[in-house]
Amino acid sequence: MKADLTLRDGSAANGQMRYCYVAADGTESPTLRLQPGDLLILHLKNGLTELATSQPPAHAHQHAAAGTNSTTDPCQRGSMTPFATNLHFHGLAIPPVCHQDDVLKTTINPSDAPFEYRIRIPMNQPPGLYWYHPHIHGFTNPQVLGGASGALLIEGIERANPEVTGLPERVFVIRDQDLLNPDAQPVQTDSMPPALVLRDAEGDILNTGTGGGKPAKDLSINFVPVPYPNYLPAKIEIRPQEKQLWCVLNASAITYLDLQMLVENKPQMLGVVSLDGVPINDSGTAGHQIIWQGHILLPPAARVGFIVKGPSAGTAASLITRTVDTGPVGENDPTRPLATIVAVPNAPEPSVQLAINPAPLPRANSAWLGDVKPARTRRLYFSEKPHDPQNPNSRTDFYITVEGQEPKLFDPNDTAPNIIVPQGDVEDWIIENRTRELHAFHIHQIHFMLEEWNGVPLDEPFLRDTINVAYWDGTSPQFPSVKLRMDFRDPQIVGTFLYHCHLLEHEDGGMMGVIQVVPRPAAKP
């Protein structure tokens, strides 16, 4: 597959910066559809203008833009500036090298010729929803918040799960953006009274704890905005009682989603078939082909594929996001609608319909991750502190630290690894949250399995690449934590890459670390 994309920017009527990938035919942020084994040749042109440099974001630390290497080779430049860009192919198990998925040194400037990415989709890449977005440290948040993101779908989910064969498939990308009406007061309803609105040092709105109030960010669904305070929803048409597979990406920079479908204000069950691009029956466990849930929590960067059933004609139905308690100092993510679901007999048929009699996926050659004994256990923790403790309006510095090391902000000029792992190993990572707000842990190149939540063992044989970590209440002697089984067996991932919080303000603010997967030594004869 060949694709030509240009990253463009512009200023909206209210002064907000907007970013978008535009294909050669004018399509905005196209969904890239690929099969395992396909070669993707993508030419990315940086079309950013001086508009992008007009107002550096709050988290653009001085060291983040310090790389002013004048080299003409984008693979070695490493200059993290507001007019630079690159691409991260989120969730794909591809090499972390230039022209594939390197974001530590690869930076593309507006003066550069279109930059070529050449990516071979692994034959064993699970079918499901992935995505692409820029990853320039210090400036990832404004670019993604401005709309720079797109879906990438590895086809063949029907080969993994016969429950979805023949279903129409739809892709929904939910993004956040700065409030269109920041000075508006919340609209009062009987169920959700307006609440006191406070702001943190970065200007975001603190969690009100009420389920209502002013959100930190507006949301959009497939670029249709649903702005505060009236939340005029988008419209999704579906044929009455029709079953469809919906693939939903939370491409928000900082906003948590808790998706729910309501029919006559009653929650409907949603049939989850994949998480973060991986079918939930990837482990081969019988009886786990569909998980029926009344709502689905999606931290920033997470994806889900689920079966929905259209309502009866003339029935009131909607897709909403429920309140997410992000913690006392987290952003306010209140309940709000995303789309009205309209059941009409002549609803347009989705352009993609899954195969009816697909060949099943071949069985995995390697042992299931949950059955592999880990080589070692590591502990990491999230923490944060004011940049200037004497100034209450100082920005926040964010850290993710390997226990035993000194906390330090991520510095793109210092890419010495915090963690070194031999390729082929499996590890357990315990990640604590020592802060009063939620964090979303993400690691490049690999997926992991959630083993424990706050020390309680779980039976969830599913793979993820992003996981929420609960916030600390400020008094408990134990910090909230997750225990993850990390998979470093794939030889494709040898190299240096990143792990971080996927709330992009936190990532840009320093909450990122470097991991190096080194080749396993050859066995002695």
DSSP codes, 474-513:
SS-SS--EEEEEEEE--GGG-EEEEEEESSHHHHHTT-EE
- Using only C-alpha atoms, the chain has a radius of gyration, in whole angstroms, of 22
| CA separation, residue 257 to residues 31, 175, 235 (Å) | 21, 10, 18
Give CA–CA dist 207/464, Å, rounded.
27
Specify the pLDDT at position 35: 97
Q: Are 258 and 297 in contact (CB under 8 A)?
A: yes
Specify the pLDDT at position 189: 56
pLDDT digits (tens, 9 = 90+) for 116-132: 999 999 999 999 999 99
Give CA–CA dist 169/152, Å, rounded.
14
Q: Is the per-residue pLDDT at 60 higher than 70?
A: no
22 contacts: CB under 8 Å, gap ≥ 6: 5, 6, 7, 8, 28, 47
Give CA–CA dist 396/406, Å, rounded.
18
CATH of 2-155, one of 3.90.1150.180, 1.10.10.10, 2.60.40.1120, 2.60.40.420: 2.60.40.420
Mean pLDDT value across residues 410-423: 95
**Residue for token pair 């400020």:** 474
More confident residue, 153 or 212: 153
Token reading at 425? 């190993």
Q: Is the per-residue pLDDT at 7 higher than 50?
A: yes
pLDDT digits (tens, 9 = 90+) for 240-270: 999 999 999 999 999 999 999 999 999 999 9
Can you name the CATH fold of 162-353?
Answer: Immunoglobulin-like (2.60.40)
Mean pLDDT value across residues 370-379: 97
Q: Is the per-residue pLDDT at 233 higher than 90?
A: yes
Which span out of 13-22, 79-88, 299-308 was modeled with the highest average pLDDT? 299-308
Specify the pLDDT at position 394: 87
More confident residue, 203 or 441: 441
From the list 124, 26, 200, the residue with the least C-alpha distance to 447 is 124
Q: Is the per-residue pLDDT at 201 higher than 80?
A: no
Give CA–CA dist 435/35, Å, rounded.
41
Q: Are 219 and 322 in contact (CB under 8 A)?
A: no
Specify the pLDDT at position 364: 83
Among 60-69, 110-119, 185-194, 391-400, the minimum mean pLDDT is found in 60-69
Mean pLDDT value across residues 48-75: 60
Specify the pLDDT at position 392: 76
Return the H-helix or E-strand segment holding 158.
Answer: helix 157-160
Among 140-144, 187-191, 504-508, the minimum mean pLDDT is found in 187-191
Specify the pLDDT at position 285: 64
Strand runs labelled E in 178-269: 218-221, 224-226, 234-238, 243-250, 257-263, 266-267
Specify the pLDDT at position 188: 66
Give CA–CA dist 214/203, Å, rounded.
13
**Hey, which residues does 154 pair with through a beta bridge?**
34, 128
Among 67-76, 77-86, 97-106, the minimum mean pLDDT is found in 67-76
Q: Is the per-residue pLDDT at 66 higher than 80?
A: no
Over the chain, what is the mean pLDDT? 92
Specify the pLDDT at position 62: 46
Annotated domain spans of the chain: 2-155, 162-353, 369-518
pLDDT digits (tens, 9 = 90+) for 162-184: 999 999 999 999 999 999 999 99
Assess whether the region 2-155 and the region 369-518 belong to the same CATH fold: yes
pLDDT digits (tens, 9 = 90+) for 470-488: 999 999 999 999 999 999 9
Specify the pLDDT at position 59: 52
Specify the pLDDT at position 65: 44
pLDDT digits (tens, 9 = 90+) for 15-51: 889 999 999 999 999 999 999 999 999 999 999 996 5
Query: Residue 238: exposed, middle, or buried by beta-carbon count in 10 A (0-12, 13-18, 19+)?
Result: buried
Cis, peptide link before residue 95, omega less than 30° from 0: no
- Secondary structure string (H, E, C) spanning 84-153: CECCEEECCCCCCCCCCCCCCCCCECCCCCCEEEEEECCCCCCCEEEEEECCCCCCHHHHHHCCCCEEEE
Specify the pLDDT at position 249: 98
From the list 494, 520, 517, the residue with the least C-alpha distance to 418 is 517
Token reading at 276? 């973060």
**Residue for token pair 């010729």:** 113
Q: Are 35 and 125 in contact (CB under 8 A)?
A: no
DSSP codes, 18-79:
EEEEEETTS-BSPPEEE-TTPEEEEEEEEE--GGGGSS--TT--GGGG------S-TTT---
Return the H-helix or E-strand segment holding 469.
Answer: strand 466-469
Query: For the chain, what percent of residues have pLDDT higher than 90?
Result: 82
Give CA–CA dist 104/412, Å, rounded.
7
Mean pLDDT value across residues 451-469: 96
Q: Given pLDDT bands bounded at 50, 70 and 90, which one contains residue 439?
A: very high
Mean pLDDT value across residues 291-314: 97
Can you name the CATH fold of 369-518?
Answer: Immunoglobulin-like (2.60.40)
Burial 333-360 (b: 16+ CB within 10 A, else e): bbbbbbbebbbeeeeeebebebeeebee
